Structure 1
Amino acid sequence: MIWYIARRLLQMIPVFLGATLIIYLLTFYTSGDPILTLAGDKPISPAVEQRLREQYNLDKPVLVQWLIYLGNVVTLDLGVGFNGRSISEQIAQAFPTTFKLALIAVAVETTFGIIAGVIAGLRKGTFIDTTLLMLSLLLIATPTFVIGFVAQFVLGVKLGIAPINVGRDPSWENLLVPGFVLGAVSFAYVLRLTRTSIAETVPSDHVRTATAKGLSRGGVVSRHILRNSLIPVVTFIGADLGALMGGAIVTERIFNVPGIGTLLFKSINDGESPLVVSLVTLMVIIFLLSNLVVDLLYGVLDPRIRYGK
């Protein structure tokens, strides 16, 4: 196991380097000259422009800039943005909020998606199965911003049981509705994945054997059906955690959540290239680590999977 983890961590290094290089090049080459963007319509003297370029290492070749940035990532000192604020402090303020929001969304899609998927898979072809499939298709076909506005209007305006905007109080209670909205589409995918895996596992020989031996229906479902059906579901959930962290922009904007999505949206509008690169790099790291955790969970779900040296 230790050798496997070490090998996977080593494999992450070239992926991380390649991803950060592409992000760095795309951000700084497609956004124009950051110094001119920073100055706006106001004229800037050559001396001030040169000083700013030296301050942000823009006077160096782009590969040198990237290497300096990697060194800052290793030391967890991401420098200062064009707005004069520490990038690390801005991320540290926004990250806990988005992390809580993503955890709520993952809990929603995992709990309700697996339960609904098991029910639909065990009752394949029935009215319940058809109803759940139609519900999942409706959620997949409906854009997230529509679900968010409907939830905001019904729960916040009409019923008054949830805050319309999160604002400066990103507590667990205030993040419940945005979390449900963020996890709604993923819930539909988890439902359909679980339903398909369960339906394929039910007629298996080992399931029939366990049933013939007199094992209870609950024991057959939990030990022999559900456990063997969760690998594709866990794969999706692990990859989805990174996607939720980076894809929360729409949900955070609707509910005014002061998280990573809002910070990323604002930094793109303001031309804060260093902050944009740092935020996307954080998403890459989260995605890589979540995939490592998923791979380790395979051995827990399926005892046949072993991690050799």
Structure 2
Amino acid sequence: MAHKVAVLALNGVIAFELGIPARIFESARDASGAPLYRVATCTLDGRPVETSTDFRVAVDHGPELLEWADTVVVPASKDPGPMQVDARLTPELAAALARIRPGTRLVSICTGSFVLAAAGLLDGRPATTHWRYTERFAALFPAVRLDPDVLFTDDGDVLTSGGVAAGVDLCLHIVRRDHGSAVANTVARHCLVPPWREGGQKQYVELPRPSTEPGSGTAAVRSWALEHLAEPLSLRQLADRAGMSVRTFTRRFREETGASPGQWLTVQRTERARQLLERTDLTIDQVARESGFGTAASLRLQLRGRLDVAPSAYRRTFRTAERVG
């Protein structure tokens, strides 16, 4: 049976964020082509709402839809009541949220986190929001464990994301968690978005403009490195392949990717390890060697640090999800 997702559109909803859940979840299919999710949109009274731009959204459902859902998503709104100084929900919004069944998964995109926080649903939990509003959020909701930098947070049945494209990352993460990386990667290809950006990645990195001189970039070296992740790759080796000094290569690399070469390699190796754990029967030692971490201990350390999970537990979770999907 398809997983039921209700999207709550509040007045002033931002159109891009409103469309993310349907675009991502409705693209997820099982091996037979059957949809894995059903997505429907509601408002507080079943009537049309204004959006952040020059059109309104008419829906087919009122707040009763929230009782039907397995997952409720609250996207950002230009006019979210909880962002006001008193941080209180309107009576209509509080009544709507009270309809949500216990155990329902809760998801916010961008400043939708203010709604969940004002309802007390984020107290004591990790959460994030758009980087522009983190100071206001922290002041209004001190009981929330706010992480102002990350793209998204996953606390099991409550997930939050930063603004705009981070909502795409979070929805893809949910598909990956529910059905494995093969399904999530297919959705990403269908939607022409990157298949994975880890939740701990910085929301906002202000980069200098990279050089546009022919041959001045590091893209070719990065492509080569992806084909040689299992090998030891030193900074000097990468710089030599690019025909640059280590200092120039490191600067150009950071300009183009927002990360140091070492950080970038670790992320790519982690992704390779995830794919091998999900799609192959290689031992943990073999996965560590093939992904470039060398030893099982090093692989465990990286997955623990980045995903808070051991390789064997990750494999059990996502191999099971793929079989179910």
TM range (shorter): under 0.3
What is the TM-score with the length of structure 1 in the denominator?
0.27
What is the TM-score with the length of structure 2 in the denominator?
0.26
Q: Which protein is richer in strand relative to its size? A: 2
Q: Which protein is richer in helix relative to its size? A: 1
Q: Which has the larger Rg?
A: 1
Greater relative CO, 1 or 2 (CA 8 Å, sep 6+):
1
